């Protein structure tokens, strides 16, 4: 079940925190989140899941910035959210989607207990100019059935745009040490 806008407002401070919060951004069944003024792009031609890929920061000027097709841009929300006992989900706004801008590639669902800023994986179908502060996406809250375990994640309590940390999953002991071979657990015994 998805919470209505009125229910989102009722649960603020209890199961939902949005900072900053503006009641004018409540929709019938969601809340609009806005785009921060920084973006991040990967500098690698080929992205490697097994290592931390180099990134470059871009500040969105007052006149906006044009996003190019076939380029992934990481951004983040201005708002920091905390969700307890609900499942948060972000989706692009229809007005943004009608410009051919995807706000997340695949990571729209959050976990119950997530606290932090939402990293946006933005991809443009054709060149599109974007502006900092734009209400870029909406957050939706789903009721959760069953007991919730404590949420812990490498992305929990982030303070910035968060590039992929997949390499930590692939080799948690060695992280991104280029001197050590990555065996991905293939040689480990299963006993």
Q: What is the pLDDT of residue 109?
A: 78
> Does the residue 40 lie in any domain?
yes
Residue 77: exposure state from Cβ atoms within 10 A (0-12, 13-18, ≥19): buried
The total domain count for the chain is 1
* Residues acting as catalytic residues: 121
> Does the residue 153 lie in any domain?
yes
Query: Domain range holding 162?
Result: 5-170
> Does the residue 103 lie in any domain?
yes
Cβ–Cβ < 8 Å for 88, 108: no
CATH number at residue 22: 2.70.40.10
- For 146, residues 6+ apart whose C-beta sits below 8 A from its C-beta are none
Give the predicted TM-score (pTM) of the model.
0.84
> Does the residue 113 lie in any domain?
yes
pLDDT in tens, 30-44: 999 999 999 999 999
> Does the residue 147 lie in any domain?
yes
pLDDT mean across residues, the chain: 87
> Does the residue 117 lie in any domain?
yes
pLDDT in tens, 172-191: 565 444 443 443 333 333 33
* Residues composing the chain: 191
> Does the residue 24 lie in any domain?
yes
Q: What is the pLDDT of residue 178?
A: 44
Lowest mean pLDDT among 77-91, 155-169, 173-187: 173-187
> Does the residue 162 lie in any domain?
yes
**Whether residue 138 has pLDDT greater than 50:** yes
């Amino acid at each position: 079940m998805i919470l209505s806008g009125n229910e989102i407002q009722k649960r603020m401070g209890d199961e939902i925190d949005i900072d900053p919060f503006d009641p004018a951004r409540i929709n019938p069944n969601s809340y609009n989140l806005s785009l921060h003024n920084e973006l991040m792009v990967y500098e690698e031609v080929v992205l490697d899941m097994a290592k931390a890929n180099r990134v470059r920061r871009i500040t969105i000027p007052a006149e906006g910035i044009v996003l190019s097709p076939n380029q992934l841009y990481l951004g983040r929300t201005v708002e920091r959210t905390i969700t307890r006992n609900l499942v948060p989900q972000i989706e692009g706004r229809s007005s943004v989607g009608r410009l051919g801008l995807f706000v997340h590639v695949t990571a729209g669902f959050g976990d119950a207990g997530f606290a932090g800023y939402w990293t946006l994986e933005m991809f443009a179908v054709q060149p599109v100019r974007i502006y900092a502060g734009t209400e870029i996406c909406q957050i939706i809250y789903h009721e959760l059935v069953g007991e919730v375990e404590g949420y812990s994640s490498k992305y929990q309590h982030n303070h910035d745009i968060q590039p992929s940390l997949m390499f930590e999953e692939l080799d948690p002991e060695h992280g991104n040490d280029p001197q050590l071979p990555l065996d991905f657990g293939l040689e480990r015994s299963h006993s």
